Structure 1
Amino acid sequence: MNIRCIIVDDEPLAREGMELLVKDISFLQLVAQCSNAMEANEVLVAEKIDLMFLDIQMPRIRGIDFLKSLTVKPLVIITTAYPNYALEGFELNVLDYLVKPITPERFLQSVNRARALFTDTPAPADHLFIKTGHGFEKIAYAEILFIEGAQNYITIHTAKGKYMTLATIKSAENQLPPGKFLRVHKSYIVAADKIQAFSGNEITSGTHKIPVSKNHRDELMKLIDQRLIRK
Structure 2
Amino acid sequence: MLKCLIVDDEPLARGVVRDFLSQIPDVEVVAEAGNASVALKTLKEEAVDAIFLDIQMPGLSGIDLVRAIPSPPLVVFITAYPEHAVDGFSLDAVDYLVKPFSFSRLLEAVNRLRKRLAPSPILSQYITFKADKRLHKIPHTDLRYIQAAGDFIKVFHSGKTLIVNETLRSLETRLPTPPFCRIHKSYLVNLDYLKYWEGNQVAIDDEMLPVGAAHREALKQILNGPQG
Q: TM-score with structure 1 length normalisation? A: 0.51
**Using the alignment, how far apart are the partners of 1:25 and 1:44 within structure 2?**
23
SS in 2 for 1:73: coil
SS in 2 for 1:38: helix
Name the residue aligned to 1:89: 88
Give the counterpart letter for 2:49 in structure 1: D
Report 1 or 2 for greater relative contact order, CA contacts < 8 Å, sequence distance ≥ 6.
2
Name the residue aligned to 2:69: 70
Is structure 2 residue 97 aligned with structure 1 residue 98?
yes
- Aligned 8 A contact 1:77 1:95 in 2: yes
Q: Which runs of 5 or more structure 2 residues have no equivalent in the other structure?
A: 123-228
Q: Which runs of 5 or more structure 1 residues have no equivalent in the other structure?
A: 124-231
SS in 1 for 2:96: strand
Give the counterpart letter for 1:85 in structure 2: H
Name the residue aligned to 2:58: 59
**How many residue pairs were aligned?**
122
Matching of residues 29-40 of structure 1 within 5 Å = 29-40=28-39
Give the counterpart letter for 2:71 in structure 1: V
SS in 1 for 2:93: coil
SS in 2 for 1:106: helix
Give the counterpart letter for 1:66 in structure 2: L
**Using the alignment, how far apart are the partners of 1:13 and 1:55 within structure 2?**
12
- Aligned 8 A contact 1:89 1:97 in 2: no
Give the counterpart letter for 1:57 in structure 2: Q
Matching of residues 186-201 of structure 1 within 5 Å = none
Q: TM-score with structure 2 length normalisation? A: 0.52
- Aligned 8 A contact 1:8 1:34 in 2: yes
SS in 1 for 2:16: helix
- The Cα of 1:88 is off from its aligned counterpart by 1.2
Name the residue aligned to 1:47: 46
Stretches of 4+ aligned residues off by more than 6 angstroms: none
- The Cα of 1:69 is off from its aligned counterpart by 1.1
Give the counterpart letter for 1:62 in structure 2: S
- The Cα of 1:115 is off from its aligned counterpart by 1.0
Cα deviation per residue 1:42-73 (whole Å; 9 max; x = unaligned)? 11111111000000111111111111111011
**Using the alignment, how far apart are the partners of 1:75 and 1:119 within structure 2?**
12
Cα deviation per residue 1:99-153 (whole Å; 9 max; x = unaligned)? 0011111111111011122233557xxxxxxxxxxxxxxxxxxxxxxxxxxxxxx
